[in-house]
Structure 1
């Protein structure tokens, strides 16, 4: 799967999250799915997801600090419709 397909899947999953819920991009995938994505694709997906949030979803999704493992943390501020 290429990063743009993964981005589409991740964006579809955020509609299932609740208001004030914090998440990482990897939380939007089942554990075994995330582990099967090559590292370079995961990194690219992270950049694409951050850019998408900043350009289209910023009032609905807040960008928080990074986790100790250097992954961006996000928070749902209001329901997101894709």
Structure 2
């Protein structure tokens, strides 16, 4: 397992888009380093986990979204 992740790998690890990681780095909301001054951004998994914990939003107990049965067209059902 790699110690250092680039932005794309960090975003995949966190399950978010790359822009969100870039914004968090720019806003100094997530710990990161820049290799070569302002060049490549590198993150550690622990730093991403800490950021996710700090920004987690607890929701009320809502029922899970309905899942479509295999082979059904959800859009067609919604449109009718």
Give the TM-score taking structure 1 as reference length.
0.31
Structure with the higher fraction of residues in helix conformation = 1
Give the TM-score taking structure 2 as reference length.
0.31
Question: Whose radius of gyration is greater, 1 or 2?
Answer: 2
Q: Point out which structure has higher relative CO (alpha carbons under 8 A, 6+ apart).
A: 1
